[in-house]
Chain A
Amino acid sequence: AQSVAQPEDQVNVAEGNPLTVKCTYSVSGNPYLFWYVQYPNRGLQFLLKYITGDNLVKGSYGFEAEFNKSQTSFHLKKPSALVSDSALYFCAVSYPSGGYNKLIFGAGTRLAVHP
């Protein structure tokens, strides 16, 4: 069965320190991979995606993610965290067919950046 795991419910990091939010997946074939961020009472905002090509993808707000096929991981990273990065982060995968994406989401990781 296709699934996405975000092993950490919460990640705490001090402002200015690097952050990593982990994601692993179990989808056969060549999935598309996405990261979204959710602020309170809002919808999801797209951060970045991996379709093919370079394993390191850069996205919005200074975030980047590294695709590792052998480890089936797609960890989200940022070199220097900001307090305003505090939010709920979702990893998602899809195995597109028929020209559309049915996203499978992880349970989410709450990022708390402390001043």
Chain B
Amino acid sequence: NAGVMQNPRHLVRRRGQEARLRCSPVKGHSHVYWYRQLPEEGLKFMVYLQKENIIDESGMPKERFSAEFPKEGPSILRIQQVVRGDSAAYFCASSLRDSDQPQHFGDGTRLSIL
């Protein structure tokens, strides 16, 4: 069974460009989470989505960041007009519906801003 698939694994952007990060959850998982990991830090929650719905975006910066999980296709985390401070590893996780199920993490996208 395929796990959570994230692409690209590495992404380099110049300041002001857009970054699009993709996440395909484990087959059958309807819950998708995005987390950000800054160097030498733990993961910080960004957003939680179900198909076609953003449920909790309390960890998302108010500007430039958006996320979606369409009916068909992967979940997308989009960062517009990137800045140096956006450099981080972005992880996607998915889980079954029940809240006591562990989240399965992808290998992350490492975003570097030049």
- Say yes or no: A107 contacts B107, CB within 8 Å: no
The segment out of A12-20, A44-52, A63-71, A73-81 that lies at the interface is A44-52
Nearest chain B residue, comparing its CB with the CB of A102:
B45
Chain B nearest CB: distance from A1 CB in Å? Answer: 13
Q: Is B42 in contact with chain A by the CB < 8 A criterion?
A: yes
Provide the bound-state CA to CA distance between A103 and B99, in Å.
11
Q: Are A100 and B55 within 8 A (Cβ)?
A: yes
Which A-chain residue is minimally distant from B42 (CB atoms)? A105
Q: Are A105 and B44 in contact (CB under 8 A)?
A: yes
- How far, in Å, is B106 (CB) from chain A's closest CB? 5
Contacting residues of chain B (1-52) with chain A, CB-CB under 8 angstroms = 4, 6, 31, 33, 35, 41-45, 48
A101 to B29 CA separation, bound complex (whole angstroms): 14
Whether B106 and A100, one on each chain, are in contact in the complex, defined by CB atoms closer than 8 angstroms, is no
- A90 is an interface residue with CB less than 8 A from chain B: yes
Given that A99-B97, A99-B99, A102-B56 are contacting pairs, would A43 and B107 also be in contact in the complex, using a CB cutoff of 8 Å?
A: yes
Interface residue count on the B side (C-beta < 8 Å): 30
A99 and B96 CA atoms in complex are apart in Å by 10
Question: Residues of B contacting A99 with CB < 8 Å?
Answer: 97-99
Contacts of B104 in A (CB 8 A): 46
Q: 7 new A-B pairs (CB below 8 Å) besides A100-B99, A105-B44?
A: A32-B99, A41-B110, A49-B102, A99-B98, A101-B99, A103-B45, A103-B103
Counting from the closest, the 4 A-B pairs by CB-CB distance are: A43-B105, A105-B42, A96-B99, A46-B102
17 A–B contacts from the bound complex (CB under 8 Å): A41-B108, A43-B91, A43-B106, A43-B107, A44-B43, A44-B105, A45-B105, A46-B103, A49-B100, A51-B100, A98-B55, A100-B31, A102-B56, A102-B59, A103-B33, A103-B103, A107-B42
Listed in ascending order, the chain B residues whose CB lies under 8 Å from chain A are 4, 6, 31, 33, 35, 41-45, 48, 55-56, 58-59, 91, 93, 95, 97-100, 102-108, 110
- Which residues of A are at the interface with B, using a C-beta cutoff of 8 A? 4, 32, 34, 36, 41-46, 49, 51, 90, 94, 96, 98-108
